[in-house]
Structure 1
Amino acid sequence: MARNPERRAALVDAAVEVLAREGARGLTFRAVDAGAGVPVGTSSNYFTDRDDLLAQVDARIHQRLAPDPSVIAELLKGPKDRSLVLEFMRDVLARAVRDRTGYLALFEMRLEATRRPALRASYTKSVRGDLVDGMDFHRTAGLPGGDETVTVLYLAMLGLLLEHLTLPGVLDGVLPEVTVPDGLVERIVATIVPDSAPEKD
């Protein structure tokens, strides 16, 4: 099996682009090779099969969309209140908009997981792990609300990102007094997150 890590990374990034642009049905080794600008057959030397490629894509997208530790550290210097949660959600939105291709590929992975049991199992574990990590982070940071708050916030932001990145026209003008998507992020946080963290006994 080929061991060139730089080429493997380039192939996986090309796969992310193909997945976002053409959907799961267009994600072939030939399309990945073309996207990476490498000879036909290269991908088959790096990935055992399509499931292996999709697993690598999942890991790569999570790397691409991960928060910048220095940004998180800076934000955590502020008061642990609702306004800090808002800043974290603004960062989530900014990262999704900045790497729209990566986020669209995530949505395609969700759809493909409904058709492939092996992918569904691994991808469910991956996404659930992200949610649990979010709960742990929220709790450890002393942010207002608990696991239920994080879960509902996750679902609301997922819905907003889905609309904004795929059909932004759906939200335009629906609420004239609210900007899209920034104002909606503010409304989401104000609706879901309590004013302050519960006092400890």
Structure 2
Amino acid sequence: MKYLLRTLLLSAGFIALSSAAETAENMLVEMTMIQNNTALMQAAVEDGRERGQLCFRCHGEDGNSKRDYIPNLASQNALYLFTQFEHFADGTRKDYVMSKLAGHLSKDDRIAIAVYFSQSEVNKRPQPVDANVKGEQLYRSMCFACHGNEGHGNQQYPRIAGQPYEYLESTLLKFLHKDPERKNSPMSAVIQNLNEKQLKEVAAYVAHME
């Protein structure tokens, strides 16, 4: 099973390029080919289930995280997830666990795992806070442009709807306080005029989105 996805891609006409020549556009073509081909999609999901065993310990076998400080991967856009693996591997993003793990994943591993989690559904979970109108107003005025009206994101921006409140709050405060782990994110500039209370209101609203 380990090499089935690559074999099917090659037989479908996708020519693998060297890592130096691979661009976001190339990956978009490959991901689109996988998602539009039943055999490729099935192979990717099966490969992802096999290759993602270490991910399951924190993010859950179905991509719904086991702890509220850990993000869900379920229903994330596959290309977005693949790109984040790349960022952890090359140091653009930093996290003690993910940076080490991503560095040991091959390109095929990253593709398969990203596709696998993208096909899982987000499970609604209890949240420790209620959503409020102020949070919705802030989301509708600032966040929807990138993350979408429903918070489902796209190839460039993550799905944030239904993430654990604790994770959302912590991440937004890291952006606000320019935490080194998040220093390369455009979010720091986006929220620079908001205070902690406002960010917590946004986090509460997003956590209850579906």
TM class by smaller structure: under 0.3
Question: Which one has the bigger helix percentage?
Answer: 1
TM-score, normalising length from structure 2? Answer: 0.27
Q: Whose Rg is larger?
A: 1
Q: TM-score, normalised by structure 1?
A: 0.28
